[in-house]
Structure 1
């Protein structure tokens, strides 16, 4: 008990009675021993003792050893004369009464102090418990903390937290105080019947001295530890039961008190908030994960930027990493992000930092729509991107971030260029034969009688030749359109290779009677193929060879077995092809530099169509450059085993 409470009282008593009043601890040693022995024998009452011819009154105000108030020394009138104060019987009676009243006051003060300290200790435990529960956001961790803290607060040996489902039965049951092995021996967790079901039926605190004697008790399953004392407290939020705390076996053999119930109820109120927060957090996490999944599946690249001392990219979907050519790990500063991919305008001028759409949106709050940029990837590839960027604003209108959406439009730009090239090529390639046909036909109509037979034959030959050329161009364009539209699927059948090669060569020989053809085809080779399409491939390759081979040089056509494949090859002795053109020769509308230099007619479709048809048959096509010049186009198709038909 603090001296600040006792000292003013003892001083006041001393002045009122005229005899010193003090605590036992401040008395001389001999006096302390005598008074301590006397008060131990008499308990909490007031005792009178005489030491060295002086009288003392002593009262114990608490059970602790030194909690004694001493009045004295004094003498009675009948005692020998001394220099101490004299108390007659009335004064001594008043002194005894005053000393008793003081001890009662001291005792009450001590009880109050103990209650205060106990309450402070409990509040500290509750405060720590509340902080521990509410600082967690992961639901399972929150529930585990709640059940452990409830056991600690109430001094329970066992505790459990039951979570009810929509049907009113317990769907989750977390325990404290039992090992996993002990839980395993018990078997399935309870569903919420018996005593546990009381809280499910009526959410109110239940305190029992012996739960086995309650009418609702249904006993325990085998291997369950014995339990007697019980405290059940519901966890309620906005009228809905979120769970129930079950505590059993008060430590040291007692029963749960009202104070235990109040502490656990206080914890339950905070636990309800913590559970709701954790569930809300889990729901938000789930929604964010769903949103991240959706954003990751979008074909467009998406970035989220946030301002600050150093502007940062805080979110990037997988398409952004794929498009930019490097793995983006967020958060990353905007400057570092921009440094990985230099940006240029359409004319090749580098774009400064403050001209980039994302920076304009983040710093200036500007919305940028359909802005084209050229961007350099780390591997050296250059792509064209279309950027849309918009600021995000808070409730005050201040920019709190920016969203950037961009996509690779390189193929679109290439397609636009390809379209332009195609239109230019078509107009040129169609105009040339049409001009020849129109001019020859006009001359024949106008001057037929004036022309000799040789001139007429020349004009008619030109018309026929250019008509065939025009028909070939149109046929290739029609085939290209059919392939891209899926209107000409393969119709495979067993096909004899030798007959197929001979038919293709004969068809082209009629159009180039002045050329020498050399054919070699192994007998017995069979394909499961579309003969019309393979014939078209061979004719395109032979036609190209005729077009680029000078007069007098042969065109070689080969078909032979190559393991499980049939290999076709068409060889010419023309100008060949440059190394730089090899990766592009099978692309649409691509014409090699050597073809452009020779001014040979063509649209760059023959090899493209050949590749598409060969790959559709499960084969492969490539270009070889023989050392003695010219070009060798080779393709392979899976062979069909079987005998050659008669």
Structure 2
């Protein structure tokens, strides 16, 4: 079956190809089509199309037809016992196809339900969680427009800072939304190049939230590690991981970014000494739209996209994003990248 029509016939025979060509005539295929449409047997040994080369039987359960079987009939005719055995085999085939169809339909319904839930979660997240920064930007802009001349320079600077921070937060969310949607749809074009890890880490820190000045960010990178990556996506991973550490750790915390050559791969770790993640949250931490119970220092709620996006990006690099506990407290997010095949000479 191909859609709602019979596919091209397949012959299973111990005879040579030229000896079975008379079974593939347009006349024989028309009889097979009639059997499929009418769900009745026809052909040789029956009253309908008795001049056919084969006996044609529909593989069906009730009104669902899954195919037609053709049995060449020469001088030998099936007796009643053989015919009943044949019908039993055909019924078993039809039942197996029915079960496969039901499984595929259930999987399709499950995928549709999951996609619908994702859309509902996304709408809920956007309508609820993006409203806070948008309202803040609107309110601050209104204050500057209507009362700007009565505000002192320190207050104005704080308002400008708040508008900038809220805008940066929104831009980061939109970039994550676009990237994870394109990744899931297979529309994101990857561009792999060889990059020095210390340069990639340094570039990522130039895009980190301005709040990083209130934290101690330390980098430790082995020299001349050349990794194969889509540098735009890996920058997004590092930015998300460091921003995540900033969000969930108190001011003054230490955030450490380490890069090393381990077991023939480039390994990158982002560590913090914050409160860590409780055990009940760990199994869900990489799920899309999962935000957990942790409180973010700047009062913004996360859409729960950052870590899900990071995991998807690392997976397309044939790696895995892993969460571990730091000692004595905090988190370690680590992932691996393939090393470049190019050898660097120091």
**TM-score, normalised with respect to structure 2:** 0.72
What does residue range 497-516 of structure 1 map to in structure 2 within 5 Å? 497-508=197-208, 510=210, 512-516=212-216
- How far the C-alpha of 1:428 sits from its partner, in A, is 2.1
Q: Does structure 1 conserve the Cα–Cα contact (< 8 Å) formed by 2:209 and 2:243?
A: no
Evaluate the alpha carbon distance shift between residue 554 and residue 299 of structure 1 in structure 2; reply closer, same or farther with a 3 A threshold.
Answer: same
**Is 2:111 the partner of 1:426?**
no
**Aligned partner of residue 620 in structure 1, secondary structure:** coil
- How far the C-alpha of 1:563 sits from its partner, in A, is 1.0
Question: Which residue of the partner structure matches residue 276 of structure 2?
Answer: 576
1:528 paired residue among 228, 234, 257 = 228
Cα distance per residue 1:509-530 (max 9 Å; x no partner): 6553332210011111111111
Question: Which residue of the partner structure matches residue 455 of structure 1?
Answer: 155
**Is 2:317 the partner of 1:617?**
yes
- How far the C-alpha of 1:288 sits from its partner, in A, is 2.1
RMSD: 3.1
What does residue range 195-234 of structure 1 map to in structure 2 within 5 Å? none
Evaluate the alpha carbon distance shift between residue 466 and residue 596 of structure 1 in structure 2; reply closer, same or farther with a 3 A threshold.
Answer: closer
Q: Does structure 2 conserve the Cα–Cα contact (< 8 Å) formed by 1:588 and 1:605?
A: yes
Supply the distance in 2 between the matched residues of 1:440 and 1:498 (Cα, whole angstroms). 39
Q: Who wins on radius of gyration, i.e. which is larger?
A: 1
Supply the distance in 2 between the matched residues of 1:600 and 1:431 (Cα, whole angstroms). 10
Greater fraction strand: 1
Question: Which residue of the partner structure matches residue 585 of structure 1?
Answer: 285
Evaluate the alpha carbon distance shift between residue 437 and residue 275 of structure 1 in structure 2; reply closer, same or farther with a 3 A threshold.
Answer: closer
Cα distance per residue 1:264-298 (max 9 Å; x no partner): xxxxxxxx998432453354244224313322422
Question: Which residue of the partner structure matches residue 438 of structure 1?
Answer: 138
Gapped regions of structure 1 (runs ≥ 5): 1-166, 168-235, 241-271, 301-318, 320-404
Gapped regions of structure 2 (runs ≥ 5): 1-18, 20-44, 52-74
Supply the distance in 1 between the matched residues of 2:320 and 2:241 (Cα, whole angstroms). 15
- How far the C-alpha of 1:553 sits from its partner, in A, is 1.5
1:487 paired residue among 187, 203, 206 = 187
Evaluate the alpha carbon distance shift between residue 600 and residue 450 of structure 1 in structure 2; reply closer, same or farther with a 3 A threshold.
Answer: closer
Q: Does structure 2 conserve the Cα–Cα contact (< 8 Å) formed by 1:550 and 1:573?
A: no
Structure of higher RCO (CA pairs closer than 8 Å, 6+ residues apart): 2
Question: Which residue of the partner structure matches residue 475 of structure 1?
Answer: 175
- How far the C-alpha of 1:424 sits from its partner, in A, is 2.3
**Is 2:342 the partner of 1:642?**
yes
Q: Does structure 1 conserve the Cα–Cα contact (< 8 Å) formed by 2:226 and 2:340?
A: yes
**Aligned partner of residue 164 in structure 2, secondary structure:** helix
- How far the C-alpha of 1:641 sits from its partner, in A, is 4.0
**Aligned partner of residue 162 in structure 2, secondary structure:** helix
1:548 paired residue among 232, 235, 248 = 248
Q: Does structure 2 conserve the Cα–Cα contact (< 8 Å) formed by 1:523 and 1:644?
A: no
Q: Does structure 2 conserve the Cα–Cα contact (< 8 Å) formed by 1:237 and 1:273?
A: no
Supply the distance in 1 between the matched residues of 2:46 and 2:147 (Cα, whole angstroms). 106
Q: Does structure 2 conserve the Cα–Cα contact (< 8 Å) formed by 1:566 and 1:639?
A: yes
Evaluate the alpha carbon distance shift between residue 482 and residue 417 of structure 1 in structure 2; reply closer, same or farther with a 3 A threshold.
Answer: closer
- How far the C-alpha of 1:423 sits from its partner, in A, is 2.2
**Aligned partner of residue 157 in structure 2, secondary structure:** helix
Question: Which residue of the partner structure matches residue 559 of structure 1?
Answer: 259
Cα distance per residue 1:333-380 (max 9 Å; x no partner): xxxxxxxxxxxxxxxxxxxxxxxxxxxxxxxxxxxxxxxxxxxxxxxx
Evaluate the alpha carbon distance shift between residue 277 and residue 505 of structure 1 in structure 2; reply closer, same or farther with a 3 A threshold.
Answer: same
1:519 paired residue among 219, 224, 241 = 219
